[in-house]
Amino acid sequence: MSDETNLCAAICRKRANYESLLRIGMDAGDFGEAARCIVSAAGEQYRRDESLLAIDSTVLRSQVSRRFGQGSMSDSCMEFVATFPTDVSAINVLEEYRLLRLARVATTLATLLATGQHGDETATLIEKYKRLSTGEEGETEKSRLTAEDFEDDEGFRIPLFPASLNTFIGGGVLRGHNITVYGRPDSGKSLFALNTAAGFVKSGYKVLYVANEEPQRDITCRLLSRLSNTEIERLRTRENLLRALDAAGTDYQNWHLFHRAGVTMRDIATQAARVRPDIIIVDQLKNVLTVVDNRALQLDTLARQVRELGIEYDCVTMSITQAGESAQGKLVLSMSDVEWSNTGIPGAADLMIGIGVDDEYLACDKRMISVPKNKVNGRHGSLPVWINPKVTAFLSKGKVRK
């Protein structure tokens, strides 16, 4: 039985195998024509449905037939599928593929060296051969932490904004922490997210901001208003917008906006792999597509997947979601005020930030931040803050509006 057969069988039997192969740099050029077709079709299914755990053979057959029509190539692909074993060791999949890649790189490298070619391509292949020989492209995990892993974490904390909130939670969050921000419509959730994003990029952190509601230009102008301290209304002209971009300077280079209607968690993961951000902000969680039918299960699943992204890419994650009707006109919010989720979203969060507002607070551009869950330093409670929508700001101190 060939390596290709084992690998393709593993890919079709279990999504985790496919994702593991992607992490070590799966290359379509490593496969023959039939295997390449199956890998491509399987990848399409997994990307289309992030909850899919294994390949649907009926859909696979349809994909192959649509790609090649009725004929020998289609029949060849399906005959190839018929040779798949009933079970494949997931543990051995990575090793099989590493050896397959190693053999192909070695053959290509030997051919180049035999012809006396010692250019950039040869140097690249030599480095790839070294990595594959030692298995460095595979995943590595620590079996235990050492003294070096327990250094003072103060220097590794990423500060939140506004400053009063950061002080409240003890000076910032660590990579891998998952934050949930929630509130009623128009309470200032996106304002909070953009103010925080501006603070992150000013501090030198790379932010991947996933947006799926407001137009791309509006989001960018709101961020620039905060970075340049320019009122949003003034950014309607090209001249002022260019000035704001110039004022934002290198801070703006840390901003990566991923704006797409119908975004999926797979899309976000792809962008995270490209950008390698320090912080991922998803605004808003409810608009990320998933095939789960039940609304509560949808949000719970998405909240867990965002948390997993933070762990995989060693970054802080922040999800913006809605508060239910119980939070209407309420200043201090509790965990149970999260819309459609009493356990899933709170369970996935290390830090929960509720944004409360009543008529009195609304009239003076004021909000109440609640912290009902806090694994960062264990402190719970609430604190007042002020907003200035004209420059997309959440502030520790404010002035009464005249």
Give the strand order in the sheet containing 207-211.
255-259, 207-211, 279-283, 316-322, 178-183, 351-356, 366-374, 381-388, 393-395
240 lies in the same domain as 309: yes
216 lies in the same domain as 300: yes
- Whether 113 is in a domain gets the answer no
At 176 the pLDDT is 93
- Whether 132 is in a domain gets the answer no
Q: Is the pLDDT of residue 154 over 70?
A: no
At 219 the pLDDT is 96
At 1 the pLDDT is 39
- In the numeric block, the tokens 């590794």 are attached to 156
Which of the two residues, 314 and 95, has the higher pLDDT score? 314
63 lies in the same domain as 165: no
166 lies in the same domain as 236: yes
pLDDT over 70, % of the chain: 86
At 401 the pLDDT is 45
Q: Is the pLDDT of residue 151 over 70?
A: no
Q: For residues 129-141, give the mean pLDDT.
A: 55
Q: Final residue of a domain: which of 103, 119, 140?
A: 103
pLDDT tens per residue across span 272-323: 988 999 999 999 999 999 877 788 888 998 999 999 999 989 999 999 999 9
Q: Final residue of a domain: which of 70, 103, 136?
A: 103
96 lies in the same domain as 169: no
HSE-CB at 235 with a 13 A cutoff on CA atoms is: 26
Which of the two residues, 217 and 59, has the higher pLDDT score? 217
Give the structural domain span for 74. Answer: 3-103
* Backbone angle region of 43, left / alpha / beta, with phi > 0 → left and psi within -120 to 50 → alpha: alpha
Residue 265 is part of a domain; what is its CATH number? 3.40.50.300
Q: Is the pLDDT of residue 220 over 90?
A: yes
272 lies in the same domain as 365: yes
- Whether 158 is in a domain gets the answer yes
At 88 the pLDDT is 63
Q: For residues 177-185, give the mean pLDDT.
A: 97
- Whether 137 is in a domain gets the answer no
At 382 the pLDDT is 97
> For the ranges 56-70, 183-197, 220-234, which has the lowest average pLDDT?
56-70
Q: 366 pairs with which residues across the strands?
A: 386
Q: Final residue of a domain: which of 43, 71, 103?
A: 103
- Whether 124 is in a domain gets the answer no
What is d(CA 349, CA 397) in angstroms, rounded to the nearest whole number?
27
Q: Is the pLDDT of residue 81 over 90?
A: no
> For the ranges 95-104, 179-188, 357-366, which has the lowest average pLDDT?
95-104
Which of the two residues, 189 and 121, has the higher pLDDT score? 189
279 lies in the same domain as 342: yes
At 94 the pLDDT is 66
At 400 the pLDDT is 43
Q: Is the pLDDT of residue 46 over 70?
A: yes
At 389 the pLDDT is 96
Q: How confident is the model at residue 327 (pLDDT cuts 50, 70, 90)?
A: very high
Q: 357: closest CA among 377, 337, 378?
A: 337
Q: Is the pLDDT of residue 165 over 50?
A: yes
260 lies in the same domain as 365: yes
The total of structural domains in the chain comes to: 2
188 lies in the same domain as 62: no
At 25 the pLDDT is 66
Instruction: Tokens for 247, please give them.
Output: 């004022």
99 lies in the same domain as 248: no
278 lies in the same domain as 348: yes
Q: Average pLDDT, whole number, for the chain?
A: 86
Which of the two residues, 75 and 253, has the higher pLDDT score? 253
- In the numeric block, the tokens 């402190």 are attached to 379
215 lies in the same domain as 70: no
> For the ranges 99-103, 363-367, 391-395, which has the lowest average pLDDT?
99-103
Which of the two residues, 402 and 250, has the higher pLDDT score? 250
Q: What is the pTM of this model?
A: 0.67
List Cα–Cα distances, 176 to 81, 159, 172, 264, in angstroms.
40, 14, 12, 21
At 136 the pLDDT is 44
pLDDT tens per residue across span 82-93: 878 766 665 566
pLDDT tens per residue across span 238-262: 999 999 999 999 999 999 999 988 8
Local structure of 168: helix, strand or coil: helix
